[in-house]
Structure 1
Amino acid sequence: MASLVGVEMADRFTTTSTPLGILASVPLGELEATVRRTLAAGKIVFVNMDSTPGLGHDPGALAYLKGIGAIGICSTRAAIIERAGSLGLLTMQKVFVTDRSNLHRSLQGVARSRPDLVQLMPAVVLRYVEQQVRDLGVPYLAAGFVQGEADVVEALRHGAAGVCTSDQALWELRRSALRAS
């Protein structure tokens, strides 16, 4: 999954074969046009609500996103994930793991909000928390510090459905082409 930081990167994404992306750092005034361009290119994008300048974290923001054609949202906030799901938007909950107590609290939040996907950050912690994340029964993606093909293989080996990365060289990787996946 492509992690798209800004309008320029989102526009480059539309010319790739990568089907999924997360939009971040797209100013509110450019968000609708950017979402529409990605949709026109046949892409599915999640709008990162935590990294969209000018976009709030309230029901009005979710209604706005649905109104401009957004297919999904991404956030660390469980309440936003719950509301978005009730509106029919796809949901991805970001979980930043800093220590075991943080992991426990975050996974409780995920269990309550029931997102469609979990984005686990940083990817390097996956080997330590794989079982706890698998026990949620929600597909998860590894993100953060994904630096090359070996990191992608490692994440998949630990049960990730995929990875999120801003490294455009990794966007075109496919599971069938990876070594030892």
Structure 2
Amino acid sequence: MINKFHNRVESNPIIAAVNNLEKLDCAIQSPCEVIFLLTGSIFDLKEIVRKVKDANMDIYIHIDLVEGFSKDAVALRYISQRIKPDGIITTKSNLIKKAKSMNICAIQRLFMLDSLSLETGVNSVYSTKPDAIEIMPGIMPKIIKTVHSKTRIPVIAGGLISDKEDVIECLKAGAVGISTSKEKIWSM
């Protein structure tokens, strides 16, 4: 399953991060092959996933941001079995471990605020062994390079990516993908 993700971002490293459902159709019509869903609720999630999959795109649900589900293993199992996304994104280490045990592709989102959060994040990744890591904010090529070299897990740069130069610098630093809510970047 993770090979599918790697193949998609290798083919097109720009990931459409949808934080407003009004942008979903634009993301689906973009050249992106992967969508990170950062919004939605228990009522619309199944339909959103179906719509994205019908467009032959992959979708990863940020389960911390979806409304109506508790952030636990039962919700994770329900999402996996009934909604059937390609994987999940979360900041919660316990959910990464649980997703891995359920054979769900798991992307761990890490916020890099200072040297302590860098150290804590790397240690967390050693423990959870996610399929990929999303680093926030993504405009820190030196940190991308450090995290990737220490963990050897694919890194996605996300947050504050605003132009082509940011994309190029992140990819040169070793990021396999760029997640952004900036529609102009989706079509680069």
With structure 2 as the length reference, what TM-score do the two structures score? 0.87
Which residue does 1:41 correspond to in 2? 55
Q: Cα deviations across residues 93-124 of structure 1 (Å, max 9, x unaligned)?
A: 00100110111111111111111110011112
Which residue does 1:17 correspond to in 2? 31
Q: Percent identity?
A: 25
In structure 2, how many angstroms separate the alpha carbons of the residues matched to 1:164 and 1:61?
A: 24
Cα 1:150/1:20, change in 2 over 3 Å:
same
- Specify which of 131, 134, 144 is matched with residue 116 of structure 1: 131
Deviation for aligned residue 1:129: 5.3
Matches within 5 A, 1:91-170: 91-128=106-143, 130-170=145-185
- Match of 1:60, as an amino acid? V
Which residue does 2:87 correspond to in 1? 72
Q: Which runs of 5+ in 2 are unaligned?
A: 1-14
Deviation for aligned residue 1:82: 1.1
Deviation for aligned residue 1:12: 2.2
In structure 1, how many angstroms separate the alpha carbons of the residues matched to 2:63 and 2:107?
A: 11
- Match of 1:146, as an amino acid? I
Q: Cα deviations across residues 116-151 of structure 1 (Å, max 9, x unaligned)?
A: 110011112332452243220100011111000000
In structure 2, how many angstroms separate the alpha carbons of the residues matched to 1:6 and 1:89?
A: 25
- Specify which of 2, 5, 8 is matched with residue 22 of structure 2: 8
For 1:37, what is the secondary structure of its paired residue?
Answer: helix
In structure 2, how many angstroms separate the alpha carbons of the residues matched to 1:114 and 1:2?
A: 24
CA contact (8 A) 1:49 1:56 kept: no
- Of 122-131 and 111-120, deviating more is 122-131
For 2:152, what is the secondary structure of its paired residue?
Answer: coil
Which residue does 1:177 correspond to in 2? none
Q: Which has the higher contact order (CA 8 A, sep 6+)?
A: 2
CA contact (8 A) 2:144 2:174 kept: no
In structure 1, how many angstroms separate the alpha carbons of the residues matched to 2:33 and 2:151?
A: 25
Q: Which runs of 5+ in 1 are unaligned?
A: 174-181
